[in-house]
């Protein structure tokens, strides 16, 4: 019976370890991979904790800013998100092919487009149609407040908007507006299927808002082009002409003697020809 030589076995294990046992190398690689995985998980958890801490620090400040929104602006936001966001975007930036940006148009454009019923659009056409307003006056004011607060732009003045000089308003209107709207504001046809609308039913704020915003083909008349006093003079002229009665019966669109002569010619000659043919048939 032989006794194992333990003294010779120990140096052999040390030699295998020194020479690099493949089994031990595999075990070392597995332990290294596990350590790397644990380090990745720990890094991810640390990033999530830091993100949560950062949000908890800045979220109250954002909430405080939201609290500064007035009640009218908050109500206007709800109306906008319900009726306007599809075409004009979540941040008033507009949507290509649907609706333009509302940044910089101000409450003036909102009042004109919404109060005259042109917005919301019922269908895509060459020009928005003038129709009864969808929103109430209070809702229009709320939309105006929201767009003005978030997009900026020209604002509508308060008070009397037709306290300007009547004679000066007539001269300014004929110089700047009559080429499209007719010299008494009856409107007229434009190119590409568009038209200048009649001003007979427009109120003071609508006319002022149109001059500030320049809808459709109309140019923008800022305070550098027409001063507020000149705008009020134009409004005074337009409203004064609209309130005047038509002497002698039908106004025939107030286009002037050319139209009146044409009507007389067509109607009068037609009546004479009818009488002639009627008398000839009886004879």
Longest alpha-carbon distance in the chain: 162
94 versus 255: which is more confidently predicted? 94
Residue 101 within a domain: yes
Residue 37 within a domain: no
Residue 209 within a domain: no
What range does the domain containing 230 cover?
158-202+220-246
> Rounded distance, CA 19 to CA 26, Å?
14
Lowest mean pLDDT, pick from 39-48, 81-90, 259-268: 259-268
Distances (CA, A) of 103 to 38, 93, 189: 50, 6, 30
Residue 230 within a domain: yes
Total domains present in the chain = 2
Residue 103 within a domain: yes
Q: 30 CB contacts (<8 Å, ≥6 apart)?
A: none
* Co-location of 135 and 97 in the same domain: yes
**Closest Cα to residue 176, out of 126, 114, 237?**
237
Residue 87 within a domain: yes
181 pLDDT higher than 70: yes
Average pLDDT, the chain: 84
85 three-state secondary structure = helix
- Using the 8-state DSSP alphabet, how is residue 254 labeled? G
> Rounded distance, CA 119 to CA 128, Å?
8
The CATH number given to whatever domain includes residue 104 is 1.10.760.10
44 versus 133: which is more confidently predicted? 133
Give the bridge partners for 86, in sequence order. none
Confidence of residue 46 (pLDDT cuts 50, 70, 90): confident
Confidence of residue 257 (pLDDT cuts 50, 70, 90): low
Beta carbons of 172 and 234 less than 8 angstroms apart: yes
**Closest Cα to residue 205, out of 157, 138, 250?**
157
* Co-location of 168 and 137 in the same domain: no
Distances (CA, A) of 44 to 36, 40, 137, 193: 12, 6, 54, 61
* Co-location of 142 and 187 in the same domain: no
Cβ density class 197-215: b for 16+ within 10 Å, e for less: bbbeebebbbbbbbbbbbb
Q: 153 CB contacts (<8 Å, ≥6 apart)?
A: 103, 104, 105, 106, 107, 108, 109, 147
Residue 49 within a domain: no
Q: Which tens digit of pLDDT belongs to each residue from 90-115?
A: 999 999 988 899 999 999 999 999 99
* Co-location of 162 and 123 in the same domain: no
Beta carbons of 83 and 122 less than 8 angstroms apart: no
Residue 38 within a domain: no
* Co-location of 132 and 193 in the same domain: no
DSSP E strands in 101-228: the ranges are: 188-189, 195-196
12 pLDDT higher than 50: no
* Co-location of 128 and 198 in the same domain: no
Sign, CA dihedral 2-8-10-12, equals negative
* Co-location of 169 and 115 in the same domain: no
């Amino acid at each position: 019976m032989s006794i194992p030589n333990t003294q010779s076995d120990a140096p052999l294990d040390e030699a295998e370890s020194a020479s690099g046992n493949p089994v031990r190398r595999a075990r070392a690689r597995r332990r290294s991979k596990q350590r790397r995985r644990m380090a990745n998980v720990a890094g991810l958890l640390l990033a999530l904790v830091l993100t949560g801490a950062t949000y908890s620090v800045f979220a109250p400040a954002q909430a405080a800013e939201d609290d500064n929104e007035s009640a009218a602006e908050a109500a206007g936001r709800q109306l906008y998100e319900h009726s306007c966001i599809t075409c004009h975007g979540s941040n008033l930036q507009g949507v290509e092919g649907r609706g333009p940006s509302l940044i910089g148009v101000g409450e003036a454009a909102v009042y004109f487009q919404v109060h005259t019923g042109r917005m919301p659009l019922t269908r895509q056409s060459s020009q928005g149609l003038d129709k009864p307003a969808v929103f109430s006056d209070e809702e229009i004011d709320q939309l105006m407040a929201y767009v003005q607060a978030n997009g900026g732009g020209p604002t509508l003045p308060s008070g009397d908007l037709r306290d300007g000089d009547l004679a000066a308003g007539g001269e300014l209107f004929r110089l700047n507006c009559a080429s499209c709207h007719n010299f008494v504001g009856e409107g007229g046809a434009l190119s590409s299927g568009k038209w200048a609308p009649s001003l007979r039913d427009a109120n003071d704020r609508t006319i002022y808002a149109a001059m500030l915003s320049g809808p459709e083909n109309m140019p923008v008349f800022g305070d550098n082009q027409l001063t507020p006093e000149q705008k009020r003079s134009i409004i005074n002229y337009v409203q004064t002409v609209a309130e005047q009665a038509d002497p002698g019966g039908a106004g025939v669109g107030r286009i002037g003697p050319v139209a009146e002569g044409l009507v007389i010619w067509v109607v009068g000659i037609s009546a004479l020809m009818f009488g002639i043919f009627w008398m000839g048939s009886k004879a």
